[in-house]
Protein backbone atom coordinates (compact mmCIF):
# COMPACT_ATOMS: atom_id res chain seq x y z
CA UNK A 1 0.00 0.00 0.00
CA UNK A 2 1.43 3.34 -1.01
CA UNK A 3 1.30 6.10 1.62
CA UNK A 4 0.81 9.59 0.27
CA UNK A 5 3.14 12.13 1.96
CA UNK A 6 1.40 14.90 3.92
CA UNK A 7 2.40 18.49 3.37
CA UNK A 8 4.11 20.22 6.34
CA UNK A 9 1.44 22.91 6.59
CA UNK A 10 -1.33 20.32 6.74
CA UNK A 11 0.47 18.30 9.45
CA UNK A 12 0.90 21.37 11.61
CA UNK A 13 -2.76 22.25 11.28
CA UNK A 14 -3.85 18.76 12.28
CA UNK A 15 -1.51 18.73 15.28
CA UNK A 16 -2.77 22.04 16.57
CA UNK A 17 -6.38 20.91 16.22
CA UNK A 18 -5.65 17.84 18.33
CA UNK A 19 -4.07 19.75 21.21
CA UNK A 20 -6.46 20.61 24.09
CA UNK A 21 -7.43 24.21 24.29
CA UNK A 22 -4.69 25.00 26.78
CA UNK A 23 -3.24 27.35 24.23
CA UNK A 24 -6.38 29.41 24.34
CA UNK A 25 -6.63 32.23 26.81
CA UNK A 26 -7.17 30.66 30.22
CA UNK A 27 -10.25 31.89 32.08
CA UNK A 28 -9.70 33.89 35.28
CA UNK A 29 -9.38 31.53 38.25
CA UNK A 30 -12.51 31.26 40.38
CA UNK A 31 -12.17 32.77 43.84
CA UNK A 32 -11.17 30.22 46.46
CA UNK A 33 -14.06 28.83 48.45
CA UNK A 34 -14.29 30.26 51.94
CA UNK A 35 -13.10 27.74 54.49
CA UNK A 36 -15.80 26.32 56.71
CA UNK A 37 -15.67 27.58 60.29
CA UNK A 38 -14.25 25.18 62.88
CA UNK A 39 -16.74 22.90 64.56
CA UNK A 40 -16.56 24.86 67.79
CA UNK A 41 -18.21 27.87 66.11
CA UNK A 42 -21.27 25.82 65.26
CA UNK A 43 -23.59 26.06 68.24
CA UNK A 44 -20.79 26.29 70.85
CA UNK A 45 -21.56 24.38 74.05
CA UNK A 46 -24.86 23.14 72.60
CA UNK A 47 -25.07 19.41 71.83
CA UNK A 48 -25.58 18.75 68.12
CA UNK A 49 -25.16 15.34 66.57
CA UNK A 50 -21.63 14.92 65.25
CA UNK A 51 -20.57 18.47 66.12
CA UNK A 52 -18.01 19.61 68.69
CA UNK A 53 -17.62 16.16 70.15
CA UNK A 54 -21.30 15.52 70.77
CA UNK A 55 -22.41 12.10 69.57
CA UNK A 56 -25.70 10.62 68.53
CA UNK A 57 -26.45 10.31 72.24
CA UNK A 58 -26.55 14.11 72.44
CA UNK A 59 -29.78 15.31 73.96
CA UNK A 60 -31.23 18.67 74.91
CA UNK A 61 -34.45 18.55 76.87
CA UNK A 62 -36.81 21.46 77.52
CA UNK A 63 -36.65 23.00 80.98
CA UNK A 64 -39.52 24.89 82.61
CA UNK A 65 -39.56 28.64 82.05
CA UNK A 66 -38.11 30.71 84.87
CA UNK A 67 -41.36 32.66 85.04
CA UNK A 68 -44.87 31.60 83.98
CA UNK A 69 -45.28 32.37 80.30
CA UNK A 70 -41.58 33.15 79.92
CA UNK A 71 -39.24 31.52 77.40
CA UNK A 72 -38.24 27.94 77.99
CA UNK A 73 -34.58 27.19 78.55
CA UNK A 74 -32.49 24.25 77.42
CA UNK A 75 -30.78 21.80 79.68
CA UNK A 76 -28.32 19.01 79.13
CA UNK A 77 -29.58 15.47 78.74
CA UNK A 78 -27.50 12.30 78.51
CA UNK A 79 -24.61 13.01 76.14
CA UNK A 80 -21.32 11.51 74.99
CA UNK A 81 -18.49 14.02 74.52
CA UNK A 82 -16.12 12.04 72.30
CA UNK A 83 -12.45 12.92 72.76
CA UNK A 84 -11.49 12.72 69.08
CA UNK A 85 -14.33 15.06 68.02
CA UNK A 86 -13.68 17.88 70.48
CA UNK A 87 -12.45 21.12 68.89
CA UNK A 88 -9.01 22.18 70.15
CA UNK A 89 -8.28 25.90 70.62
CA UNK A 90 -4.81 27.28 71.43
CA UNK A 91 -4.30 29.34 74.59
CA UNK A 92 -1.39 31.33 75.98
CA UNK A 93 -0.35 28.36 78.10
CA UNK A 94 -1.33 25.38 75.93
CA UNK A 95 -4.70 24.26 74.58
CA UNK A 96 -8.35 24.11 75.61
CA UNK A 97 -11.33 21.97 74.63
CA UNK A 98 -14.73 23.37 75.60
CA UNK A 99 -17.20 20.63 76.47
CA UNK A 100 -20.35 21.95 78.16
CA UNK A 101 -21.79 25.00 79.89
CA UNK A 102 -25.44 24.16 80.52
CA UNK A 103 -27.98 23.54 83.22
CA UNK A 104 -29.14 19.99 84.00
CA UNK A 105 -32.17 18.59 85.77
CA UNK A 106 -30.48 18.80 89.20
CA UNK A 107 -27.46 21.12 88.67
CA UNK A 108 -27.90 24.85 88.06
CA UNK A 109 -24.84 24.93 85.79
CA UNK A 110 -22.44 22.21 84.72
CA UNK A 111 -19.34 23.69 83.10
CA UNK A 112 -16.82 21.24 81.65
CA UNK A 113 -13.63 21.91 79.73
CA UNK A 114 -10.34 20.15 79.11
CA UNK A 115 -7.07 22.06 79.53
CA UNK A 116 -3.56 21.27 78.35
CA UNK A 117 -0.68 23.04 80.12
CA UNK A 118 2.68 23.27 78.43
CA UNK A 119 5.83 22.64 80.53
CA UNK A 120 6.63 25.51 82.87
CA UNK A 121 3.11 26.96 82.75
CA UNK A 122 0.44 27.26 85.44
CA UNK A 123 -3.32 27.43 85.19
CA UNK A 124 -3.47 30.80 86.97
CA UNK A 125 -2.32 32.35 90.23
CA UNK A 126 -3.96 30.78 93.29
CA UNK A 127 -7.61 31.78 93.15
CA UNK A 128 -10.99 30.67 94.49
CA UNK A 129 -14.66 30.72 93.58
CA UNK A 130 -17.95 29.84 95.21
CA UNK A 131 -18.64 26.81 93.01
CA UNK A 132 -16.99 23.49 93.73
CA UNK A 133 -14.59 22.07 91.16
CA UNK A 134 -13.03 18.68 90.52
CA UNK A 135 -10.32 17.68 88.06
CA UNK A 136 -9.14 14.41 86.52
CA UNK A 137 -5.55 14.32 85.24
CA UNK A 138 -5.53 12.53 81.88
CA UNK A 139 -1.82 12.63 81.05
CA UNK A 140 1.38 14.25 82.21
CA UNK A 141 2.21 15.42 85.73
CA UNK A 142 0.97 18.42 87.72
CA UNK A 143 1.89 20.12 90.94
CA UNK A 144 -1.43 20.81 92.65
CA UNK A 145 -1.48 23.72 95.08
CA UNK A 146 -4.02 24.16 97.87
CA UNK A 147 -4.17 27.39 99.87
CA UNK A 148 -1.19 29.70 99.95
CA UNK A 149 -2.92 33.09 100.08
CA UNK A 150 -3.09 35.34 103.18
CA UNK A 151 -3.02 33.20 106.31
CA UNK A 152 -3.72 29.97 104.44
CA UNK A 153 -1.24 27.13 104.70
CA UNK A 154 0.13 26.29 101.25
CA UNK A 155 0.18 22.58 100.46
CA UNK A 156 1.42 21.11 97.19
CA UNK A 157 1.43 17.60 95.82
CA UNK A 158 2.81 16.35 92.50
CA UNK A 159 0.62 13.71 90.90
CA UNK A 160 0.39 11.79 87.63
CA UNK A 161 -2.28 10.36 85.32
CA UNK A 162 -5.43 9.12 87.03
CA UNK A 163 -5.18 11.59 89.91
CA UNK A 164 -8.29 13.48 91.04
CA UNK A 165 -8.39 16.81 92.85
CA UNK A 166 -11.42 18.36 94.52
CA UNK A 167 -11.47 22.09 95.27
CA UNK A 168 -14.03 23.03 97.92
CA UNK A 169 -16.08 26.20 97.72
CA UNK A 170 -14.00 29.37 98.15
CA UNK A 171 -10.76 27.47 98.78
CA UNK A 172 -7.64 28.80 97.02
CA UNK A 173 -6.07 26.49 94.44
CA UNK A 174 -4.10 26.25 91.21
CA UNK A 175 -2.04 23.75 89.22
CA UNK A 176 1.37 24.00 87.56
CA UNK A 177 3.19 21.85 85.04
CA UNK A 178 6.76 21.48 86.30
CA UNK A 179 7.51 18.54 84.04
CA UNK A 180 9.00 18.38 80.54
CA UNK A 181 5.84 17.23 78.73
CA UNK A 182 2.37 18.77 78.29
CA UNK A 183 -0.20 17.87 80.95
CA UNK A 184 -3.87 17.44 80.05
CA UNK A 185 -6.69 17.44 82.58
CA UNK A 186 -10.51 17.35 82.63
CA UNK A 187 -12.17 20.18 84.59
CA UNK A 188 -15.69 20.01 86.05
CA UNK A 189 -17.32 23.07 87.69
CA UNK A 190 -20.57 22.48 89.58
CA UNK A 191 -23.05 25.24 90.48
CA UNK A 192 -26.04 24.40 92.69
CA UNK A 193 -28.60 26.35 94.68
CA UNK A 194 -26.26 26.03 97.69
CA UNK A 195 -23.23 27.56 95.93
CA UNK A 196 -22.04 30.58 97.98
CA UNK A 197 -20.83 33.90 96.62
CA UNK A 198 -17.12 34.45 96.08
CA UNK A 199 -15.68 36.79 98.77
CA UNK A 200 -13.47 39.77 97.93
CA UNK A 201 -9.87 39.10 96.90
CA UNK A 202 -7.29 38.97 99.66
CA UNK A 203 -9.48 37.38 102.29
CA UNK A 204 -8.67 33.89 103.64
CA UNK A 205 -10.25 30.71 102.33
CA UNK A 206 -13.68 29.99 103.70
CA UNK A 207 -13.65 27.34 106.45
CA UNK A 208 -15.17 24.02 105.43
CA UNK A 209 -18.25 23.15 107.50
CA UNK A 210 -17.82 20.21 109.88
CA UNK A 211 -18.48 16.88 108.21
CA UNK A 212 -18.16 18.29 104.69
CA UNK A 213 -15.53 17.41 102.13
CA UNK A 214 -12.69 19.94 102.00
CA UNK A 215 -10.19 20.35 99.19
CA UNK A 216 -8.45 17.04 98.61
CA UNK A 217 -5.87 15.50 96.25
CA UNK A 218 -6.23 11.84 95.30
CA UNK A 219 -2.93 10.33 94.13
CA UNK A 220 -3.46 7.42 91.74
CA UNK A 221 -0.11 5.87 92.59
CA UNK A 222 -1.04 5.63 96.28
CA UNK A 223 -4.52 4.25 95.71
CA UNK A 224 -5.55 0.73 96.57
CA UNK A 225 -7.46 -1.41 94.07
CA UNK A 226 -10.09 -3.64 95.64
CA UNK A 227 -11.03 -6.79 93.68
CA UNK A 228 -14.59 -7.08 92.37
CA UNK A 229 -16.33 -9.86 90.40
CA UNK A 230 -15.81 -7.85 87.19
CA UNK A 231 -12.35 -6.38 87.85
CA UNK A 232 -11.50 -3.87 90.58
CA UNK A 233 -12.44 -0.48 92.06
CA UNK A 234 -10.71 2.39 93.80
CA UNK A 235 -12.80 4.37 96.27
CA UNK A 236 -11.94 8.07 96.17
CA UNK A 237 -14.54 9.89 98.24
CA UNK A 238 -18.20 9.66 99.14
CA UNK A 239 -19.92 12.25 101.30
CA UNK A 240 -21.54 15.66 101.58
CA UNK A 241 -19.85 18.84 100.34
CA UNK A 242 -20.63 22.49 100.94
CA UNK A 243 -22.88 22.65 97.87
CA UNK A 244 -23.96 19.02 97.29
CA UNK A 245 -25.91 16.63 99.51
CA UNK A 246 -23.58 13.85 98.36
CA UNK A 247 -20.59 13.58 96.06
CA UNK A 248 -19.44 10.07 95.25
CA UNK A 249 -16.35 9.24 93.18
CA UNK A 250 -14.88 5.84 92.36
CA UNK A 251 -12.60 4.44 89.66
CA UNK A 252 -13.93 1.24 88.10
CA UNK A 253 -11.73 -1.20 86.18
CA UNK A 254 -13.53 -3.77 84.04
CA UNK A 255 -11.75 -6.90 82.92
CA UNK A 256 -12.04 -7.98 79.28
CA UNK A 257 -15.63 -8.69 78.23
CA UNK A 258 -17.23 -7.56 81.50
CA UNK A 259 -19.94 -4.98 82.10
CA UNK A 260 -20.61 -2.90 85.20
CA UNK A 261 -23.89 -4.34 86.42
CA UNK A 262 -27.09 -4.83 84.48
CA UNK A 263 -29.04 -2.01 82.80
CA UNK A 264 -29.98 0.36 85.59
CA UNK A 265 -31.52 3.74 86.31
CA UNK A 266 -30.33 6.04 89.07
CA UNK A 267 -31.99 9.18 90.42
CA UNK A 268 -28.76 11.17 90.73
CA UNK A 269 -26.87 12.54 87.74
CA UNK A 270 -23.55 10.94 86.81
CA UNK A 271 -20.36 11.83 84.96
CA UNK A 272 -18.13 9.12 83.52
CA UNK A 273 -14.61 9.87 82.25
CA UNK A 274 -12.75 7.12 80.37
CA UNK A 275 -9.24 6.67 81.79
CA UNK A 276 -7.87 3.87 79.61
CA UNK A 277 -9.11 1.18 77.27
CA UNK A 278 -12.34 1.32 75.28
CA UNK A 279 -15.85 1.36 76.76
CA UNK A 280 -19.24 0.83 75.15
CA UNK A 281 -21.72 2.98 77.06
CA UNK A 282 -25.39 2.39 76.32
CA UNK A 283 -27.92 5.02 77.41
CA UNK A 284 -31.62 4.53 76.69
CA UNK A 285 -30.81 1.92 74.05
CA UNK A 286 -28.17 3.96 72.18
CA UNK A 287 -24.52 2.90 72.37
CA UNK A 288 -21.45 5.11 71.99
CA UNK A 289 -17.82 3.95 72.20
CA UNK A 290 -15.64 5.93 74.57
CA UNK A 291 -11.89 6.33 74.13
CA UNK A 292 -9.55 7.76 76.82
CA UNK A 293 -10.61 11.34 77.54
CA UNK A 294 -14.21 10.82 76.43
CA UNK A 295 -16.79 12.11 78.92
CA UNK A 296 -20.32 10.75 79.34
CA UNK A 297 -23.04 12.70 81.12
CA UNK A 298 -25.81 10.37 82.29
CA UNK A 299 -28.99 12.22 83.20
CA UNK A 300 -31.10 11.27 86.21
CA UNK A 301 -33.42 8.35 85.51
CA UNK A 302 -31.86 7.31 82.18
CA UNK A 303 -31.23 3.58 81.78
CA UNK A 304 -27.57 2.81 81.14
CA UNK A 305 -24.89 0.14 81.04
CA UNK A 306 -21.09 0.27 80.76
CA UNK A 307 -19.16 -2.54 79.05
CA UNK A 308 -15.49 -3.17 78.30
CA UNK A 309 -15.21 -3.18 74.50
CA UNK A 310 -11.71 -4.70 74.23
CA UNK A 311 -9.66 -7.73 75.22
CA UNK A 312 -7.75 -5.65 77.78
CA UNK A 313 -8.82 -4.07 81.09
CA UNK A 314 -10.56 -0.70 80.78
CA UNK A 315 -10.92 1.92 83.55
CA UNK A 316 -13.06 4.96 84.13
CA UNK A 317 -13.72 7.62 86.77
CA UNK A 318 -17.35 7.71 87.89
CA UNK A 319 -18.86 10.71 89.70
CA UNK A 320 -22.37 10.74 91.19
CA UNK A 321 -23.76 14.09 92.33
CA UNK A 322 -26.79 14.48 94.60
CA UNK A 323 -28.23 17.97 95.06
CA UNK A 324 -31.37 19.44 96.63
CA UNK A 325 -33.14 18.81 93.31
CA UNK A 326 -32.25 15.10 93.15
CA UNK A 327 -35.14 12.75 93.92
CA UNK A 328 -35.04 11.52 97.51
CA UNK A 329 -34.47 7.92 96.40
CA UNK A 330 -30.91 8.80 95.42
CA UNK A 331 -29.67 8.73 98.98
CA UNK A 332 -30.97 5.19 99.50
CA UNK A 333 -29.63 4.02 96.13
CA UNK A 334 -26.18 5.42 96.85
CA UNK A 335 -26.07 3.85 100.29
CA UNK A 336 -27.19 0.48 98.96
CA UNK A 337 -24.77 0.21 96.04
CA UNK A 338 -21.64 2.21 96.81
CA UNK A 339 -20.27 0.42 99.89
CA UNK A 340 -17.52 3.03 99.98
CA UNK A 341 -15.36 3.52 103.03
CA UNK A 342 -15.53 7.27 103.52
CA UNK A 343 -12.29 9.12 104.22
CA UNK A 344 -12.18 11.48 107.17
CA UNK A 345 -13.06 14.93 105.88
CA UNK A 346 -10.99 17.67 107.42
CA UNK A 347 -9.97 21.23 106.67
CA UNK A 348 -6.50 20.64 108.14
CA UNK A 349 -3.67 19.30 105.97
CA UNK A 350 -3.22 15.58 106.41
CA UNK A 351 -2.10 12.65 104.30
CA UNK A 352 -4.11 9.49 104.67
CA UNK A 353 -3.10 5.95 103.83
CA UNK A 354 -5.76 5.85 101.10
CA UNK A 355 -3.77 8.19 98.83
CA UNK A 356 -5.69 11.32 99.81
CA UNK A 357 -4.12 14.62 100.78
CA UNK A 358 -6.62 16.81 102.60
CA UNK A 359 -6.58 20.49 103.40
R_g over Cα of the chain: 28
Counted domains in the chain: 1
Helix, coil or strand: residue 15: helix
28 located within any domain: no
Mean pLDDT of all residues in the chain? 79
| CA gap 264, 248 in Å, rounded | 17
Residue in 177, 105, 110 with CA at minimum distance from that of residue 141: 177
Q: How far is CA 80 from the centre of its chain?
A: 10
Residue in 285, 220, 212 with CA at minimum distance from that of residue 253: 220
> What pLDDT band is residue 62 in, cutting at 50, 70 and 90?
low
The strand pairing partners of 175, in sequence order, are: 144
Q: State the CATH number of the domain containing residue 180.
A: 2.60.120.10
346 located within any domain: no
Biggest CA–CA distance in the chain, Å, is 114
Do 84 and 54 touch, CB atoms closer than 8 A?
no
DSSP string computed for 64-95: --SSTTS--EEEE-SEEE-GGGS--EE-SSEE
**Is the model's pTM score more than 0.85?**
no
Whether 15 shows a pLDDT value over 90: the answer reads no
Of the ranges 12-16, 123-127, 171-175, 245-249, which one carries the lowest mean pLDDT score?
12-16
79 located within any domain: yes
148 located within any domain: yes
349 located within any domain: no
Do 174 and 125 touch, CB atoms closer than 8 A?
yes
90 located within any domain: yes
pLDDT per residue as tens digits for the range 82-97: 999 999 999 999 999 9
pLDDT per residue as tens digits for the range 254-298: 999 999 988 999 999 999 999 999 999 999 999 999 999 999 999
354 located within any domain: no
Residue 57: CB atoms within 10 A of its CB come to 24
Do 100 and 111 touch, CB atoms closer than 8 A?
yes
pLDDT per residue as tens digits for the range 82-136: 999 999 999 999 999 999 999 999 999 999 999 999 999 999 989 999 999 999 9
Give kind and range of the element (H or E) at residue 96: strand 94-102
139 located within any domain: yes
Q: How many residues would you count in the chain?
A: 359
Residue 202 Ramachandran class (φ > 0 left, ψ -120 to 50 alpha, else beta): left
> What pLDDT band is residue 204 in, cutting at 50, 70 and 90?
confident
Domain that holds residue 207: 48-338
Amino acid sequence: MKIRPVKLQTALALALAAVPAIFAAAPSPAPAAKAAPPAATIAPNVPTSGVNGYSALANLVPAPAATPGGPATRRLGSTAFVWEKLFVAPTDVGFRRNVSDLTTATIEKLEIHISTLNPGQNSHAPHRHGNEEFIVLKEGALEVGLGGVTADVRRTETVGPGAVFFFAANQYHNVENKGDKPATYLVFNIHTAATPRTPPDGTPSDPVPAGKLGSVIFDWEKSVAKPTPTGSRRDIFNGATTTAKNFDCVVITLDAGYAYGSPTKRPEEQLLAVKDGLLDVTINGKTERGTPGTIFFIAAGDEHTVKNATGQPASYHLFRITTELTPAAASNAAAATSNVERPTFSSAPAEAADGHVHI
